[in-house]
Structure 1
C-alpha cells in the first residue's frame, strides 16, 4: 500500500479511526498550548511534567489495570504542576525544582513498575505509548482531558500573552501570577496526560514543543501562531499514522506508531525551517538589490550646467 492510499483508506479500519480522532484532538490542543509554552520559555518545565506523569501511570496500572492509567496520570501531573509552581514561587530556581520533581517522580514510577510480573512489557507501554490500541471507552475521556486543557488557556489567553511579553506590566494591571502560572502548568499537565496514553512519556515533549516552534517560523503575526500550530500538529499526526500504516501493510516494516508520529513532527519542522531559511535569504537578496546605489551610465552626458 502506498502512502497516498494510506492517507485515506487506512482510517476505515476502526482502531486506526480511533487513533486518528484522538491524535487530531491532541495535536490541535497541544499546538495551541505549546505556543504559550514557547512564548513563555517553559520548555524545560514541560519536560519535567512529562516525566512527572510516569509514577501516576505506573500506580494507576498497578491498582486498576489499563482503566487506571488516565486518572493516575491526571492526578500525578496536576500534583506536579502545583508543586513546580509553588517551588518557583518559594524562590527555588526553576532548573533545580524541575530536576527535583523529575528525578523523584521517575524513580517512584520505576519502583512501582518493577513490582509487576511483566516489568519490561509494561515499562515499554508507559514509555512509548499505545496509540493504536486505545480502547473505545477511553476515547471520550482523552478528548475530555484535552478539552479541559484548551478551556484553561482559552479563558485566560489575553492575560497569558500579557504575562509572556510583559510580566511586570501584567502584575501592575492586577493579574495574579500564581493563578496564571497554575492554569498554564495545569493545561500543560493535562496535555501530557493525554499524550502519555498515546505516544508515551518519552515522546510527549515533541507534541508540545514542535508545533509552536514551527508556527514561530511560519508567521510573525501573534494571533496567527495558534491556528498555524494547530494545523501543523493535526497534519503531522495524520501523516504519521498514515506513514506507519503504509510501512506495516505495504512494506512489511513494523514501525512503532508513536515514534513514527514524532519523527514526522520533527521532519516537518526541518522542512519548515529550511523553507524559512530560503525565504529569508531570498528576502535579503531582494533588499540588497533594492538598496543598491544607481551607477551613472558610462559616457552619459553631464547634467545641464555642469562645468560651466
Structure 2
C-alpha cells in the first residue's frame, strides 16, 4: 500500500513537497489566468527565455547565480513579449522571443562544454536536493506572482473574455498583460529548482486544464486547480519514494508531472460523463 505520510518525515522529501504545494497555489491562480487567456504558448516561450539568463548567471557567480540570472532574463523576456506581441501578434511575438533567447543560450553554452552538465538540474529538476535557501527564494517568487494576479484578478478575467470590453471599461490592458506575463515568469523561475524548466508547463497548464473540464466557473475552478496540483504533487512524490525504495530509479519531477497528467485524464472522463448525464436529462 502506498505510504502517504512516513516518507515526508524525511527532510529531503519534506522540502520539495512544501515547494510543490506552494507551486500548487500558483497553479490555481496564475495557471487559471494562463488557461483563460490562452497563454500556454507564451508560457512555453518564457520557459525557454530563461536559458541565456541562467547561463550568464552561472558564468558570473557559479551555481548561486543561476536563479538570479534566470529571474532577470525571465522578467526582461516578459516585458519584451508584451511589447512585441502588440506589434506582431501574440504567437509571432512568442516565437521571436523564444527563438532569440534559446539560440543565445545555446551559443553561450557551446563556448564551454563543461557548462552543459551544470545546467542539467535546471532543465530536468532536482527535487530531492532542494535546499532551505532555494525553498525560501521560490516561496518569495511565487508569493509575488500570486499577489500580482490576485490584485488584478477582475482585470485579468475581463481581459480574457473580451479585450474590447475591457478597454471600454477602463481596464489598463497593457499593464494587465505585463502583470500576467511577469507572474508567469516568476513561477517559471520559482519552479526551476523543483520540477525544472522543461516540466514547469505541467504546473502552469495541466491543473487548470483539468479544472476547466470539471467546472466553468472561474473562482471555483481556481480552487479546484490548486487542489488537483497539490494532490498530484503529494501522490507523485509518494510514488517516486516507493519506486526508489523498490529499486526503480525514476525522476521525481517527471513522476509528479505524469501524476498531474493522469489527474487531467480523470477530470476529462468525469467531465464527459457528467455532460452526458446532463444531456440525457435535458432530452428526457
Tell me if both proteins adopt one fold, taking TM over 0.5 as the criterion.
yes
The answer to whether the 8 A contact 1:113-1:123 is kept is no
Please give the root-mean-square deviation of Cα atoms over the aligned residues, in Å: 1.4
The residue that corresponds to 1:218 in the other structure is 214
Q: Which of 155, 165, 177 is 2:173 aligned to?
A: 177
Between Structure 1 and Structure 2, which shows a larger proportion of helix residues? 2
The alignment's TM-score, normalised by the length of structure 2, stands at: 0.95
Aligned to 2:171, what secondary structure does the other structure show?
Answer: coil
Aligned to 1:191, what secondary structure does the other structure show?
Answer: helix
| Structure 1 position 80 matched with structure 2 position 77 | yes
Q: Which of 32, 35, 58 is 1:35 aligned to?
A: 32
The residue that corresponds to 2:141 in the other structure is 145
2: distance between equivalents of 1:54 and 1:19? 23
CA drift of 1:115 comes to: 3.7
2: distance between equivalents of 1:271 and 1:212? 13
| Structure 1 position 68 matched with structure 2 position 65 | yes
CA drift of 1:221 comes to: 2.1
Larger Rg: 1
Q: Which of 263, 277, 280 is 1:282 aligned to?
A: 277
The alignment's TM-score, normalised by the length of structure 1, stands at: 0.88
The answer to whether the 8 A contact 2:16-2:127 is kept is yes
Residues 118-159 of structure 1 deviation map (CA, whole Å, 9 limit, x = unaligned): 344224222201121112222111100000000111111111
The residue that corresponds to 1:59 in the other structure is 56
Residues 178-201 of structure 1 deviation map (CA, whole Å, 9 limit, x = unaligned): 110000100011011111221111
The residue that corresponds to 2:260 in the other structure is 265
- In the alignment of these two chains, the number of paired residues is 284
Superposition pairs of residues 1-308 of structure 1, within 5 angstroms: 2-3=1-2, 5=3, 7-89=4-86, 91-116=87-112, 118-249=114-245, 251-288=246-283, 290=284
Which ranges in structure 2 are unaligned for 5 or more consecutive residues? none
2: distance between equivalents of 1:10 and 1:117? 37
CA drift of 1:116 comes to: 4.1
Which ranges in structure 1 are unaligned for 5 or more consecutive residues? 291-308
2: distance between equivalents of 1:242 and 1:66? 29
